[in-house]
Structure 1
Amino acid sequence: MFLVAGVLVFGLPLLVSCRLDQLLTAGPAPVVNLRPDTIGVAEAKPLPVTVTAGGQVQGSVPLTFESSNPSIATIDQNGVVHGLTRGKAAITARVPGLEGVDRPAAATDTVWVVAVSVILTRPVDTLTSLNDTTCLTAAAYDKQGDSLTAPPTISKTSDPDNTLTPFGTQGCYRATKSGRSATI
């Protein structure tokens, strides 16, 4: 509460009080907009975030940021996401409100942290006969070209006739029947 004192004409005292939220009028409530994004391991980039109020994009709005999983991705107070290891983290951006004047606004979206490059360490095979097998391995690398400790998962992405069956170690497949081509 604010208290204003003064002296009126003829020497009579004047005492007026009011609350801050009565002095300041709130404009349209802000809306925080985030886009899901992908970032590489060992990479840093600004989070795509905008704040609008009354349909107009607002510049220079103070924001606070938070990561749901700081072991996967962190975010600094400038809105720059740092990818640490493969996975996903929910990032929240908040516009803090002035108590009694504005309502705070927030938005949360997912940031996927991925390997910057994945290289097959064995050439792609063409299986032509029943019971032919192939075992593929892959290595994942970060932005600096350093190998990531966890290898990427190898899986079938297209096999309309179910001609391939996984067997043995991860990344190994056997042709179990004739059919159309399959993509691993």
Structure 2
Amino acid sequence: MPAAPRLVTGCLLLVCSLAVWTCHLDRLFSSSNPTVTVTVAGDTVGIADSGKLVAKVVVGGVAKPGYRLTWSSSDPAVAIVDGLGQVRGLARGSATITAELGRTPFTAGPVRGTGTVRVVVPALTLAPVDTTITSAGDTVCLRSAARDARGTTLPGLTPDSFKLAVDADSTLRLIPGGCVVARKSGAKATVRAALDTATATAGVTVRQQIVRLVVHPDTINATSVTATVQLRDSAFDRRDSL
């Protein structure tokens, strides 16, 4: 066979071989594009607290550990994250945490996965913890304090809700701001406050103290030394409530 036809035939075989290998490589790489999944345990972190984020790289349907990831936060004022996926809550709110896998032999560009971290108030207190009201009609207002994971008070944060759990015969009433109004002696209640995932309770008891006693009638006109008069007494607390 002349040299020219042999050269043409060789070129055709080379082109076909390259095409076949290209198809094989395309199938190999397209079936092995990795995805990055970010899983946030519990999806909440307390202010001044931290939690570990877990990122999983999957290549061709198989988990592949050991890849180096770059971590970032959408709002560093709310939550920050280090190079190992350790996230720390700084302020109440939400932030999107991104784990990025750089370019690899299996990818044409970076691959990213995200997870949302909600930063919440981890602790709440009510004071006083136990209160006794001595007059029906008196009002006691409880003081709330939101605290971070280190116990530091967080100013400007108040409970989302107050609820009153009372005895069956109680006439205590809850008014806005965490205040309780007493109606009669013997009433007991538990006030529950909530803010984010934190809760706190305080007890309120009404025990009237008698400060004035009145006897009726205040004047007796007896018609004889053997006459009998029925006396009645009335007790009053500081607010002149019976």
TM value normalised by structure 1: 0.61
1:1-184, aligned counterparts within 5 Å?
Answer: 25=29, 27-35=32-40, 37-98=43-104, 101-102=107-108, 104-115=111-122, 117-123=123-129, 133-156=139-162, 166-167=175-176, 170-172=177-179, 184=192
Flag the structure with higher helix content: 2
Contact 2:36 2:100 survives alignment (8 Å): no
Unaligned runs of 5+ in 1: 1-15
Ranges of 4+ aligned residues in structure 1 off by more than 4 Å: 124-127, 130-134, 173-176
The 1:92/1:136 distance shift into structure 2, 3 A limit, reads: farther
The 1:56/1:150 distance shift into structure 2, 3 A limit, reads: farther
Cα distance per residue 1:110-144 (max 9 Å; x no partner): 332333x22222226699xx977542222233333
Query: When the two structures are aligned, how many residues end up with a matched partner?
Result: 167
Higher RCO (CA-CA < 8 Å; seq separation 6+): 1
What CA distance in whole angstroms lies between the structure 1 residues aligned with 2:29 and 2:159? Answer: 55
Q: CA deviation at 1:54?
A: 3.8
The 1:120/1:53 distance shift into structure 2, 3 A limit, reads: farther
Unaligned runs of 5+ in 2: 1-17, 166-171, 184-188, 193-242
Contact 1:66 1:93 survives alignment (8 Å): yes
TM value normalised by structure 2: 0.49
* Corresponding residue of 2:195: none
The 1:30/1:134 distance shift into structure 2, 3 A limit, reads: same
What CA distance in whole angstroms lies between the structure 2 residues aligned with 1:182 and 1:47? Answer: 38
What CA distance in whole angstroms lies between the structure 2 residues aligned with 1:86 and 1:69? Answer: 11
Larger Rg: 2
